[in-house]
Amino acid sequence: MLVQDLHIHTIWSSGDGAVVPEQTVELVAQVRHARVVGISDHFEYLVDGFIEAYVDEVRRAGLHVGTEVNGQAWADAAREAPVDYYVVHCYDTDADYRALERLLDTGRPVIVAHPHAIGTRLARVPTDCRVEINNRYIWRGDWRSYYAPHAQRFRFVLSSDAHQPNWLNQSVARHVAGQLGISEDLLFDA
């Protein structure tokens, strides 16, 4: 069993074409592939009146509840969401780095999602953020030269970014973390 997986999508991410109909909160809870499991559906699909029902269903399943925030445009609305943590797309703009600070101000954990896949400059990311090693994207590009200079500066989390049941694993992310000598940071008790 894995230690922690806080970046998982379900059918609540209705507009995300990679999510299959079988990927329900109930199925993720039944599979229970990690000791600490959190769902982090895309905020832009929840904001129009679905956020309360989403949070309620995830909590009733006994899982932690977060949301994935697509850049600075969504940050202020996401601050009001009744979630436990944020998974954030930080694009390489001043406004996006400032949005990380605003989300950290809530006191909730902020995970910078698949940064090397979207061009986040880790030198500009506040050190209070957790940085993700994301199983879906980590093998794309030169992860060693991207992460190694910052390996001592951040706390890291490993994630599946699962959109389908068979993505509920972290095999490549764990290989990379081992190569970099990075141990994962646990955000919640099981």
| Of residues 112 and 189, the one with the C-beta less far from Zn ion | 112
Q: How far apart are CA 101 and CA 129, in angstroms?
A: 9
Residue 84 binds Zn ion (CB under 5 A): no
Residue 161 binds Zn ion (CB under 5 A): yes
Residue 39: CB partners within 8 Å, gap ≥ 6?
8, 9, 10, 12, 25, 28, 58, 63, 64, 65, 66
Binding segment for Zn ion (CB under 5 A), chosen from 75-83, 97-105, 143-151, 157-165, is: 157-165
Cβ atoms of residues 69 and 89 within 8 Å: yes
Distance (Å) of CA 103 to CA 141, 142, 157? 28, 29, 17
| Of residues 57 and 159, the one with the C-beta less far from Zn ion | 159
Neighbours of 153 (CB within 10 A): 11
Least spacing, CB of residue 152 vs Zn ion, in Å: 25
| Of residues 8 and 176, the one with the C-beta less far from Zn ion | 8
Binding segment for Zn ion (CB under 5 A), chosen from 24-32, 110-118, 124-132, 139-147, is: 110-118
Taking Cα atoms as reference points, which of 12, 28, 17, 59 lies closest to residue 169?
A: 28
Least spacing, CB of residue 161 vs Zn ion, in Å: 5
Which residue among 83, 113, 129, 168 contacts Zn ion (CB under 5 A)?
113
> Helix (H, G, I), strand (E, B), or coil: what is residue 60?
helix
Q: How far apart are CA 161 and CA 116, in angstroms?
A: 14
What number of chain residues touch Zn ion (CB under 5 A)?
Answer: 3
| Of residues 12 and 154, the one with the C-beta less far from Zn ion | 12
Cβ atoms of residues 127 and 104 within 8 Å: no
Residues numbered 52-81 forming contacts with Zn ion, rule: CB under 5 A: 68
Least spacing, CB of residue 68 vs Zn ion, in Å: 5
Binding segment for Zn ion (CB under 5 A), chosen from 29-37, 121-129, 153-161, 164-172, is: 153-161
Binding residues vs Zn ion (CB under 5 A): 68, 113, 161
